[in-house]
A and B are shown apart, each in its own frame.
Chain A
Amino acid sequence: DQQVKQNSPSLSVQEGRISILNCDYTNSMFDYFLWYKKYPAEGPTFLISISSIKDKNEDGRFTVFLNKSAKHLSLHIVPSQPGDSAVYFCAASANMNTGRRALTFGSGTRLQVQP
């Protein structure tokens, strides 16, 4: 049962254009969402996050949008650069009974930015 889904395994965009990566979740208890970026042979690196009390968070070229009613979030990269080519993972967390938050990851979307 995949609680966090990234339905597009890959995405290709032209340099300078917008990249939009999508993520859907099913667990209504999730209240904190993160995006990680992963290059080959490296571990994922934290990119940007958003709390469920917000619907948008922006950090430079990266903006994450959250639509709670649709249980959907998206990551926008504008403008896209060749160095953005990587696998992007969406992750969600919920406050557990123990007070512990556990992260649930999507399967990732491979972004390729063409020069």
Chain B
Amino acid sequence: KAGVTQTPRYLIKTRGQQVTLSCSPISGHRSVSWYQQTPGQGLQFLFEYFSETQRNKGNFPGRFSGRQFSNSRSEMNVSTLELGDSALYLCASSHTSGGRETQYFGPGTRLLVL
């Protein structure tokens, strides 16, 4: 099976702009989660989508939003970009086996805000 794919891999934007990142989960996975990774902060959970519905949300401002399509592909949008939004954005799709869920990550999109 193909892994989780994310596009684009690298992105440079300026403050005030908006950006849309895309994630295609592993075939058959219906849950997609988004994380932000910054140096020293680990992976900060943004939100999770399941069957086109946001099922869980982290502690990020409303400038961060997402959606999921019927084919489970997901997009994340950040509006009015700030310098502090520069980070690696990771998408993960997950499956549950034996009541336990394992997440599989994509390579990430590195966003630089100037």
Contact = CB atoms under 8 A, between A and B. Distances in A.
Interface of A: 6, 9, 32, 34, 36, 41-46, 49, 51, 89, 91, 93, 96, 98, 100-108
B40 A107 contact: yes
Contacts of A102: 45, 48, 56
Contacts of A42: 107-108
A31 B88 CA distance: 28
A89 B43 contact: yes
Interface string B95-114: 00000111111111000000
Contact of A51 (B40, B91, B100, B108): B100
Nearest to A32: B100
Interface in B50-84: 50, 55-56
Interface of B: 4, 6, 33, 35, 40-45, 48, 50, 55-56, 90-92, 100-108
- Chain B interface SS verdict (over half): strand
B100 A49 contact: yes
Contacts of B108: 41-43
24 contacts: A6-B42, A34-B102, A41-B107, A43-B4, A43-B6, A43-B105, A43-B107, A43-B108, A44-B43, A44-B105, A46-B103, A49-B100, A49-B102, A51-B100, A89-B42, A91-B43, A98-B55, A102-B56, A103-B45, A104-B45, A105-B42, A105-B45, A106-B42, A108-B42
Contacts of B44: 105
Nearest to A107: B42
B92 A43 contact: yes
Contacts of A45: 104-105
A88 B82 CA distance: 28
A101 B101 contact: yes
A100 B56 contact: yes
Nearest to B40: A107
A52 to B, nearest CB: 11
